[in-house]
Amino acid sequence: MILQNEKQIFGVNSEGAAPDSGKREACKVEQMQFGYIGINYKDAKLEIRDKVSFTDNQKIDFLQKAEKAGIGQCMILSTCNRSELFFFYREEKQFEEMRSLYIARFPEIKNSSYLKCSSGAEAMEYLFRIAAGLESLVLGEDQILGQVKDAQEFSRMLGYGGKELNRVVRDAVTCAKKIKSRLKISENPLSVSSIGIRQVDQICGIKGKQVLVIGSGSMAVLAIRYLYEYEAGKVAVCSRTPAHAKELLTDFPELSTVSYEQRYQEIEKSDIVISATSSPHLVVRRESIRLAHKTVFLDLALPRDIDEELGKEPLAHLLDLDALEQIASENQAQRIELTKVSSKWIKEAVKETQQWLSGSRVDATIESLQQKCDLIVEDSFSYLNRKMDLGAKEQKLLRKILKASLHRLLREPILELKQLESKEQQEEYQKVVEELFHI
């Protein structure tokens, strides 16, 4: 069950921006608008989140379909705790098409209360809170910031980033770093991996124990790091890609590797088994294991790696992502107090980002104006250079003076254009500028 104090802080109120409903006010949208659609751990349990996660291939397919619906800028944030879309759209029907695409991809959530939607400042504030770790299961955890940056880089690499989306994510990351460095909410890290490892230590004691880690991704690497901090004995790792497992030996030379096909034999020899793969199927099945001693299983994967039926075995103790919620209250009181300051900073940062987005609507006119200015500078320079006997140094100085003078003349009109918040005023001013300067 999700902590009550977290729900109070992060529900719909003056302090937070987490969307609480799939319903949105209908509005006619002509300018670029920021939107959010998705599912997260606060409303959907693990069995639901299992069904709505994205693989990289599925992300590519979805982004291509979104592009056909007219959405050119979109980021998919898919982790063990959330499957969420952040995107820019121009018309209300495009938002609804995105919602339909999401439901078509995951028909299990059709007409359900799990799916949340929002737009504008509310959606943007929510992304800023996610980046800062204020919407995480463990309040203030650091891992999500890297996941946000990875999601943005994935979209940018495929051509679905765009100036506006890249700016919003960059501002969210900058704000998150400010919160983390100044308030130190996550000074005592409590990522899902660290919670899981700590729980395993409380159950059986990790020091000196034989451990098998299945998987070689970032979650598995984090688990291995924590295991050595707890002074684990022999730690072995297996992966479907042996080369990936062997790469870990650079950072963990004492690590041993076993083939993926030998995992069941290794499980039966281990005291602790941790699985953290990206496999869409179970990698540890109950019927394939014959336990001779008590073994603790920690499943850090989504979808699940370890058969939940294994938890019924007398000699097995199974922990999964849902079970980790039970101890997520550590350090919450102090962190929640700090989020009140964080929320104020986020609101200020979002306002600045929105002002930039508003100003970006007139960028084309400003660029045309500056280009015309540069043409005038070159024409004037060419004329004067022909009439005067100037050396190279004087030519460079003349060009600089001409450019600085003209741009100085344009500086105030450009600032005025950018500071207009009303779309109607911007359009009116743009029209006047374009007519006056014939651009």
Catalytic residues: 80
Contact between residue 79 and residue 137 where contact means Cβ atoms under 8 Å apart: no
DSSP 60-106: HHHHHHHHHTT--EEEEEE-SSEEEEEEEESSHHHHHHHHHHHHHH-
Question: What Cα–Cα distance (Å) separates residue 272 from each residue in 242, 298, 301, 317, 367?
Answer: 21, 8, 16, 10, 62
Helix (H) or strand (E) holding 343: helix 332-360
* Pair type for strands 272-275 and 295-299: parallel
Dig out the tokens for 313 from the structure: 């075995």
Angle at 273 between CA 270 and CA 278, to 5 degrees: 145
Collect all residues with Cβ–Cβ distance below 8 Å to 129 and sequence separation of at least 6.
10, 16, 17, 18, 135, 343, 346
Cβ of 12: how many Cβ atoms within 10 Å? Answer: 13
Largest CA-CA distance found in the chain, in angstroms, rounded: 98
Is residue 231 left, alpha or beta, with left meaning phi > 0 and alpha meaning psi from -120 to 50?
left
Residue pair 328/2 in contact by the 8 Å Cβ criterion = no
Instruction: Confirm if 85 and 102 have CB atoms less than 8 A apart.
Output: yes
